[in-house]
Structure 1
Amino acid sequence: MKTQNPKQLLPPALRSRNYRLFFAGQGISLIGTWMTQTATIWLVYSLTQSPLMLGVVGFSSQIPSFILAPFGGVFVDRFSRHRTLIGTQILSMIQSLALAALALTGVIHIWHIIVLSLFQGFVSAFDAPARQAFVPELVERREDLANAIALNSTMFNGARLIGPAVGGLLVASIGAAYCFLIDGLSYIAVIIALLAMKIKPRTILVSTANPLEQVKEGFVYAFSFPPIRALLLLSALVSFFGLQYTVLVPVFAEKILQGNAETLGFLMAASGVGALCGGIYLASRQTILGLGKLIAFAPTILGIGLITFSLSRYLPLSLFTMLFIGLGTILQVAAGNTVLQTIVEDEKRGRVMSLFTMAFLGIIPFGSLLGGALADRIGAPTVLIIDGIVCILGSMYFMRQLPALRQLVRPIYIERGILNEGLH
C-alpha cells in the first residue's frame, strides 16, 4: 500500500516551504501585535478612565496608515517586498521593546503611548501592503494562490481577534508590561522565518513616474472598477462603524458588566473563537466562487452581534454575542481580501492592497475617535446599537449590487481558470 506524503494532508499553500515559514512566523508575530493592542487600551483606560482618550490612542496608532498607505503601496510595487518586510519587522520589534521598557520601569505616561503608537502606525503603512502583496511570491504553484490568499487573510484577521483575547488574559494575570515584552520577542520568530526563505528575484517594471502619479494611477484603477470599489467601500464601512467596539470593550468589561481585565480577556477570547471558526471555514473552501454572498451577509452577522452585545448586562450572553462579532468581522474582511487579491492586476497589487489597508486599518482611527467621543456623551451601548444598524444597512446595499458585480468579475475568473461556465 502506497504511503501518503504528509505534505499532501496540508492545505495546498502550506505545501510550499516559503509559505510555511511565512505562515508560522507571521502567525506568532501578529498574535503578539494584537496582544499589545489590548494591553495598550487597558493601560490607557487604567491611566485616564476616559473613553475619549481610548479613541485618541486608537486614532494615533492607525492614522499614519490612512495618510501614508498609498505611498507604502507605491514603495511595495517598486522595491523588494521581502526586504521591506524584514525592515518593518525589525522596526516593530524596537517599538514594542521600547513600550515594554517604559512600562516595566513604571515611568510610562499617556504621551509615551501616543508617540509610540504613531511610530507603529508609520511602520504599518509600509508593512501591511508589503505583507499582502508578498503572498503570491511565496507559493510554488499558481493554482495554490487562492488558498494562500485565504490562509493569509485568515491568519492576519484571525490574529487581530485572537491576539487581544490572549492579551486580556495576560494583562489580568501578569500585567500589561509583560504583554509588550512578549510581543517584542515574538518578532524574532518572523525575522528568522523571513531570513530563511529562498525568494526568486521578482521582475520589477522600472518606472520613471512620479510617486504621486503612481498613487493616482492606483486610485483610478481601483475606483473605476466597480467590484474593487464596492469591496473597498464595504470594508471601510465595517472598519469605521463595526470595529468601534474594539476601543469600547474596556468600558463594557468594567462599567457595564462590573468586571476587570480578566473580563476583557474573556470577551476578546470569545470574539477570537468566532474569528477562528470563520477562518477555518474560509481556509477549508476549495473555490472562491460563492464568496460574494458571504461578503454581503457578513456585516449583518456583525451588526446583529453588536446590537445584542450592547443590550446585554449578563456576561454569558455577552460572551455568546462576541462569537458573532468575531465571525462577522473575519468573514467580511478575509473573504473580501481574497476576492480582491484574485481580481487585481499583479503590477498594481501593492497599490490596491495599500488602499485595502486604508479601508480596513486606516479608517479604524476615525471610527475609534468618533466612538470614544460619542460614548462620552451618549454612552457606549447606544454607540454600538447605531454601529450595528449601519452595518446591517451596508450589508443590504452590497447585496443589491451583487448581481451586477458578478457579471463584471466573470471575465476575470474565466481568464484565470477559476470559472468555466456560468458564475454561481
Structure 2
Amino acid sequence: MNVFRSLKYRNFKLFFYGQSISLIGTWMQKTAVSWLVYRLTGSALLLGLVSFASLIPSLVLSPYAGSMVDRHNRYKILVITQVVSMLQAGALAFMLFFKVYNIPAIIGLSLLQGIINAFDITTRQAMMSEMVTNRNDLPNAIALNSTMTNIARIAGPAIAGIVLSTFGEDACFFGNFFSYIPVLACLFMMKLSTTALPRPQKSIWVELQDGFKYVSGDRDLSSLIIMLTVSSLFVIPFNTLMPIFAKDIFNGDAKTFSWFESAAGLGSVISAIYLATLKTDKHIIKVMTIASLVFGLSVMLLGYAAKLPIALLFMTMTGIGMMAQTSTINTYIQTHAVPSMRARAISYYVMAYQGMIPIGSLLIGWLANSLGPRGAVCVEGVIGVLSTGLFVLYKRRQAGDAMFFRKTALAGK
C-alpha cells in the first residue's frame, strides 16, 4: 500500500507542498505568541485568554462558514483567507519590530486570525474531495494532510525556539509572513474544474437549520461530534499550560517550551503515518476509541511527571492520541457525509474541535489558578478517560438496539 498515493493528484500535491511551508510559519508564530504573552505577563489566565481569542470565532462562525462554503467557489475563498492571514502575520511582525508590546493588540490580532480560520479550515477540508477525486484515496489524503500539519508542529516550534533565543519574537512573525508566499504561488498553479454553482433557492439561515438537522439526525455523526466536543472542551486545552510547565515547573526557557510542542508534534506524525497506511476506514471507530483512551491516560500521567524526559515522553503520547482521535473523526465525516451537506458537516467538526478549545483554555486557566498547573492537567486527563468509557457504553447500547430491531423485524416476517 503506497503511503503517498494521494500525491498523484496534481492539485493535492501543490496544496500539500504549499501548506507544508506555510504551516511551519504558523507554528513559529503560535509558539512565539504564547511565549511572548507569558514572558510579559506571567499570567496563566492571559495565556488562556489569547488562546480563547484565536479560536472562539470557530464556535460562533463555523456553521455559517459551512453554509457559505457550500454556496460559493471554495478555491476563491481559500485564496482570500490566505491573503488576509498573510496581512495579519505582517501586522504582528511590524508591531513587535517597533517594540509595541501591547497585549490587547495581540489579543485583537489573534481574534482576527480566529475569524479567518473559521472560514479557512472549513474551506480546506471541503476542498479535499475536489482535489482527490477517488473516494478510496480520500482517507489517505486526509492522513497525509494531518502528517504535514504535525511535521510542521515539530519543525515550527523547534525553529521558533532557536529564533526566539537568537533574534526575538518579531523574527518568528516575519517568518510566518513570508511563509504565505509559497502557498499562494501553489494555489495559483492549481487547475481545479470549478463549475458554476446554481443560485441558492434557500436563505443561508434555512441552510444552517438543514445542516444542523442532518448532523443531529445521524446518530454516528452526532455521537462522534459530541465526543470531539468533550475532548476539545476538557482535554485538548491542557496544552495551554505548557509554557508554565517549561518555565516554572522544569525551570526551562523558550527552547524547553519548543521541546514540548515538538514532542506532541512527533507523536502526531507517528499517528498520522499509521493512519495513512490503513487500507480502508472499516475500523475507524475502533481506532478513534483506542486513541481517545491513550490521549486521556497520557494527559493524566503528564500532569505529575517528575522529570523532563518523562514529561516529554507523555507529551509525545498525547500527540499520538489526540491526532488519531481528531483525524479519524474528520475522515469519517468526509467519507460518510452526503456531498451536498459535506461542508456543513465539516463545519460542525470545526466548531466542535476549534470552537470548544477557547472555552476550555479559559477553564483550564481558571483551574490552574485553583489547583495548580499539575492538578489542572491531571483533571483534564481523567475527564478524557471517563468520556471514552461513556462513548464505549453508548456504542454498545446502540449496537444492542440495532440487533434488537433486526430480530424484531425477522420475527415479524
- Answer whether TM exceeds 0.5 for this pair: yes
8 Å Cα contact 2:150-2:265 kept in structure 1:
no
Q: How far does residue 139 in structure 1 lie from its aligned partner after superposition?
A: 1.9
The 2-side partners of 1:81 and 1:116 are apart by 24
CA separation of 1:22 and 1:37: change in aligned 2, threshold 3 A = same
8 Å Cα contact 1:169-1:266 kept in structure 2:
no
| Mapping for residues 107-122 of structure 1, pairs under 5 Å | 107-122=100-115
The 2-side partners of 1:38 and 1:235 are apart by 24
1:291 corresponds to 2:274: no
1:155 corresponds to 2:152: no
CA separation of 1:379 and 1:77: change in aligned 2, threshold 3 A = same
The residue type equivalent to 1:108 in the other structure is Y
8 Å Cα contact 2:150-2:269 kept in structure 1:
no
* Cα RMSD (Å): 2.0
Tell me the alpha carbon deviations over residues 358-395 of structure 1, each in whole angstroms, 9 at most, x when there is no partner: 11111110001111122122211111111000101111
| Identical residues among aligned pairs (%) | 38
1:370 paired residue number = 363
Q: How far does residue 36 in structure 1 lie from its aligned partner after superposition?
A: 1.1
1:339 corresponds to 2:332: yes
Q: How far does residue 169 in structure 1 lie from its aligned partner after superposition?
A: 4.2
The residue type equivalent to 1:391 in the other structure is G
TM-score relative to the length of structure 2: 0.93
8 Å Cα contact 1:158-1:330 kept in structure 2:
no
2:373 paired residue number = 380
**Alignment: residue pair count:** 402
Which sits farther off after the overlay, 240-249 or 167-176? 167-176
The residue type equivalent to 2:95 in the other structure is L
Tell me the alpha carbon deviations over residues 110-166 of structure 1, each in whole angstroms, 9 at most, x when there is no partner: 011011011111111110100000011002434322322332344345545653444
Q: How far does residue 290 in structure 1 lie from its aligned partner after superposition?
A: 1.2
| Mapping for residues 281-360 of structure 1, pairs under 5 Å | 281-360=274-353
| Mapping for residues 173-188 of structure 1, pairs under 5 Å | 173-188=166-181
Extract unaligned runs of 5+ from structure 2.
Answer: 403-413
The residue type equivalent to 2:369 in the other structure is D
8 Å Cα contact 2:3-2:140 kept in structure 1:
no
What is the aligned counterpart of 2:75 among 82, 102, 106?
82
What secondary structure is seen at the aligned counterpart in 2 of 1:363? helix
1:32 corresponds to 2:25: yes
The residue type equivalent to 1:150 in the other structure is A
1:135 corresponds to 2:119: no
Tell me the alpha carbon deviations over residues 240-286 of structure 1, each in whole angstroms, 9 at most, x when there is no partner: 12222221001111111111111101111111111110011111211
Extract unaligned runs of 5+ from structure 1.
Answer: 1-7, 410-424
1:208 corresponds to 2:195: no
CA separation of 1:306 and 1:146: change in aligned 2, threshold 3 A = closer
1:234 paired residue number = 227
The residue type equivalent to 2:213 in the other structure is V
Q: How far does residue 172 in structure 1 lie from its aligned partner after superposition?
A: 3.2
8 Å Cα contact 1:157-1:334 kept in structure 2:
no
1:419 paired residue number = none
Q: How far does residue 204 in structure 1 lie from its aligned partner after superposition?
A: 3.1
1:271 corresponds to 2:264: yes
The 2-side partners of 1:316 and 1:225 are apart by 44
What secondary structure is seen at the aligned counterpart in 2 of 1:65? helix
The 2-side partners of 1:356 and 1:29 are apart by 23
2:192 paired residue number = 199
What secondary structure is seen at the aligned counterpart in 1 of 2:281? coil
| Mapping for residues 54-65 of structure 1, pairs under 5 Å | 54-65=47-58
1:51 paired residue number = 44
2:405 paired residue number = none
What secondary structure is seen at the aligned counterpart in 2 of 1:244? helix
Q: How far does residue 328 in structure 1 lie from its aligned partner after superposition?
A: 0.6
1:219 corresponds to 2:246: no
The residue type equivalent to 1:92 in the other structure is S
2:182 paired residue number = 189
8 Å Cα contact 2:157-2:259 kept in structure 1:
no
What secondary structure is seen at the aligned counterpart in 2 of 1:145? helix
The 2-side partners of 1:281 and 1:173 are apart by 36
The residue type equivalent to 1:265 in the other structure is S
The 1-side partners of 2:56 and 2:100 are apart by 26
Which sits farther off after the overlay, 8-17 or 187-196? 8-17
The 2-side partners of 1:161 and 1:387 are apart by 23
Tell me the alpha carbon deviations over residues 23-52 of structure 1, each in whole angstroms, 9 at most, x when there is no partner: 111122122212211110110001110000
